[in-house]
Every structure is written in C-alpha cells, then in structure tokens.
Homo-oligomer: A and B are copies of this chain.
C-alpha cells in the first residue's frame, strides 16, 4: 500500500509556481488547517465552471474527467434555478409539515427495489454512512463491521474507523475486519464468488472468536478506493448470504456509484443483483449542494427511529430537497443513464485501442462512467507503476485534462467525468491520455 497520504498532491518546493498561485497558497497555509492538501504537483486554480469545463484565472479551460459531484455538469442552470426559487420561498426543517420533502422521498424510493422504502436525509455521504452504521448496530445489537481491504467510507470518527484506506495514522475500530477482493487477489472470475464468501465467513468467524457479533458488511459497489475492482458482477452474492446468516445487515455505500454513474442501473448494487438492507447516498445527489440520505428496509430504520432520537438540522431542508429534486428530474427526463452507457462504451473502446497502440496500460475496468485504468509497463515494480501513473495524471493536468489516481498502490487512473459527457469530450480525453502515455513510455 502506498504510505503517502495522498500521492497526487502539491509538495512545497517540488515545482516552481507563478507568483499569483504562490501568494494564494501562502495565505491558504496561514489560515486553513494542515489537512487541506492541494491536488496535482502543480495545483490548479479555478474561478469559473461550466458543463464539462473548469477555467483558471487566465481563461485556460480544463476538461473535467474527475469530479463526480457535479454529475450533471458544473453550474447547471436548471438545478441552480430550482435551488434559488426554493430559497426565495421557504427553507424549513423536517419538524414542520412541508410537502416537498415527502414528494421527493417518494420519487427517490421509486428508483429502488420495493423492499427499500424508507428514507432518512443527511447532509453528506459521511453522515449517511455514519447513520447507517448507527442503525445497523442498534438494529442488530452487534458491533462488528466488515469492509474491503482499501475501503474508504468517509470522515466522521465512526466511519474513519472502518476506512483502512486512511492509512496507519487513523486507527481502525477493534470491531472491524477487512476482506480481500477477488480481482486484486488474482482470482479467476468463476471462483470469485466462492473466494469472497470465504473471506467474509472467515472475518465473521474471527469476530465471533472475540465475542463480537456482526452488525454490517459495508461496501462501495464500485470499490473506488480499492482500485475499481468491480468484476465479475454477482461476486458479492455468497458474502451477502453469509452476512445475513450471521445476523448482520448489508450496507451498500452508493455515495460514488449511485444516481446513474454505472449507466445500466440507477444504483451500483443492482449490477450484483442483490438488495441491500441499507443504502447510503451523497456526492451527486444535489449536484454540489450538501445533501445525502440513507434509504433502507422498514425494519431496521423503524427500530432505530422508534428507539433513538435522531434529528439533523439541515438535512431534508426544503432548499436541498428542491435542488435534489431537480437533479432527479433531469436524470430521468433527459435519459442520462442512456448517455452514460453510450459514452462509456466509446470511452472503453478508445482506451482499448490506446492500450494496443501504446505501452503503459495494463488493464481497464469500468461500470458506466467510472473507470479504473491500471498503469505500468510489463514487469514494472509497484513504485515504478505508481510513479508512472502520477506522471500521466500530471502530464494530462498540464495539458488541461483532470483525472487522478486510486488503488492500494495508487497506480490506477481514476476516471469519472460528469454524466453529461459527450463524444467530443471523450475524444479530447483519449488524445490527451495517449499523448501522455507516448511521452512517458518512450523515456
């Protein structure tokens, strides 16, 4: 595992910066906490956004193939108008009766399997995952949680403690167990389900030997921080059965794959043909407005709601709801998922052609518009692959295209453009990637 907390970042002194950016960084360092890290060796500076594009103060455009929050495009006018109209009318909390929150909740659960019919709103994906863990622990009476080897589920104390991706400085909970995914373990597709079930059963057994029952198996169905190891579809089935047999709940973290990112389905878990007990939402839900949710089966949600007092000041407020409602309307009305399927197919084919024409690509994995691209040459060592991936990302940044890295070794390109991406953007991206690979592989 990469020991750097964030490999693709600015390090003072590594590059020389223009005076304007150097001055802004100095002011930033003097007032923001040290946890604020800037992406890219040479940070990007933005003052305007529109659709697929971000612009620096000189007007230089950057093609955004990275941000999965503004999934309907930067500064979407229709969504902003909905937000502004509601802000002018009413911003109320959920302790008052107000029709919009009910109407949106009904629309939202309609996108889920029938068993998942209850919603609790939050403000962020981290709050959603934190709440899902609280619900699972209270409903099962157990503490144990199983996550994937490089899982990242968010920033609160409780979810950071089940996020091995945060590295050694953030202690894991004594009641969390990590399991290996079949893909990065080199397991053939036909044995993947069996392998993963065995991993999860071993984790349950190990918890039990310490007197810890299983509260939940929590997974990001796109396995983003693990390196987008998503195949084969269905490999979660045995694990899900094992968790339920042991009395635990299944929590799908849809903060990244949700709201159509995977194209074929509105929710990433559908790709594996399972129905979780709790599903957590966040990032693209409000196209940038801070809103999230837990959608779940009535049983655990009701047990939690009747027993514990839970109320979240901003969550479900009318302005966030109106914004999320506009997002859902556009996703459905404009058939965005169809676009995701079409464009992602073009992107995948283009990547395969580049892989055959140039060196440097060892593997391509995607579900819809979430791609993981393994970078490396033949028998290159992990550190060499990581350096090469970083070089590619930063060459593309200099060339005006935004992506980053992921995975245990940070040698996987993480590519996840807004879902309104068109063929012209794909062609620009492919050209930029091929240019970067040609230069770097020919050194």
Interface of A toward B, CB cutoff 8 Å = 5-6, 21, 24-25, 27-28, 30-39, 43-49, 54, 67, 69-70, 74-75, 77, 80, 83-84, 87-99, 101-102, 105-106, 109, 117-120, 123-127, 130-131, 133-134, 155-158, 160, 166-167, 169-170, 282-283, 288-291, 294, 296, 301-302, 304-317, 319-320
A394 to chain B, nearest CB (A): 14
With A90-B48, A155-B311, A166-B308 as known contacts, state yes or no: A97 contacts B33, CB within 8 Å. Answer: no
**B residues near A313, Cβ cutoff 8 Å:** 69, 124-125, 282-283
**B residues near A157, Cβ cutoff 8 Å:** 130, 133-134, 156-158
Contact yes or no, B167 A124, CB < 8 A? no
Bound CA span A267–B126, Å: 28
A169 to chain B, nearest CB (A): 5
Q: Which residue of B lies closest to A84 (CB)?
A: B84
Contact yes or no, B119 A31, CB < 8 A? yes
Bound CA span A47–B97, Å: 9
Contact yes or no, B75 A91, CB < 8 A? yes
| 29 cross-chain CB contacts under 8 A | A24-B102, A28-B97, A31-B106, A32-B94, A32-B118, A34-B302, A35-B305, A35-B309, A35-B311, A43-B96, A43-B97, A45-B98, A47-B90, A49-B90, A54-B92, A69-B313, A69-B314, A75-B87, A77-B88, A124-B127, A125-B313, A126-B127, A130-B156, A133-B157, A156-B156, A157-B157, A169-B308, A290-B290, A290-B314
A288 to chain B, nearest CB (A): 4
Contact yes or no, A46 B102, CB < 8 A? no
**B residues near A97, Cβ cutoff 8 Å:** 21, 24-25, 28, 38, 43-46
Q: Which residue of B lies closest to A120 (CB)?
A: B33
Contact yes or no, B167 A309, CB < 8 A? yes
A sample of 17 more A-B contacts (CB under 8 A), given A34-B306, A124-B127, A166-B309, is A24-B99, A31-B109, A32-B105, A32-B119, A34-B301, A46-B90, A47-B99, A54-B96, A123-B314, A124-B124, A124-B314, A127-B156, A131-B155, A134-B157, A156-B156, A156-B157, A290-B320
A179 to chain B, nearest CB (A): 22
Partner of A118, one of B33, B54, B74: B33
A79 to chain B, nearest CB (A): 8
A66 to chain B, nearest CB (A): 10
**B residues near A34, Cβ cutoff 8 Å:** 301-302, 304-306
Contact yes or no, B48 A89, CB < 8 A? yes
Bound CA span A37–B307, Å: 12
Contact yes or no, B311 A37, CB < 8 A? yes
**B residues near A282, Cβ cutoff 8 Å:** 313
**B residues near A44, Cβ cutoff 8 Å:** 96-97
Partner of A290, one of B32, B123, B304: B123
With A38-B96, A44-B97, A156-B130 as known contacts, state yes or no: A304 contacts B120, CB within 8 Å. Answer: no
Q: Which residue of B lies closest to A303 (CB)?
A: B34
**B residues near A47, Cβ cutoff 8 Å:** 89-90, 98-99
Contact yes or no, B87 A80, CB < 8 A? yes
Partner of A91, one of B33, B84, B92, B288: B288
Q: Which residue of B lies closest to A35 (CB)?
A: B305
**B residues near A33, Cβ cutoff 8 Å:** 118-120, 294, 296, 301-302, 304-305
**B residues near A101, Cβ cutoff 8 Å:** 28, 32
Bound CA span A170–B137, Å: 11
Contact yes or no, A120 B35, CB < 8 A? yes
**B residues near A21, Cβ cutoff 8 Å:** 97
**B residues near A310, Cβ cutoff 8 Å:** 35, 155
Q: Which residue of B lies closest to A165 (CB)?
A: B309
Bound CA span A290–B25, Å: 26
Q: Which residue of B lies closest to A109 (CB)?
A: B31
Partner of A155, one of B5, B89, B127: B127
Q: Which 10 interchain pairs have the tightest Cβ spacing?
A: A34-B305, A35-B305, A157-B158, A45-B97, A290-B314, A33-B120, A290-B290, A39-B95, A35-B310, A91-B288
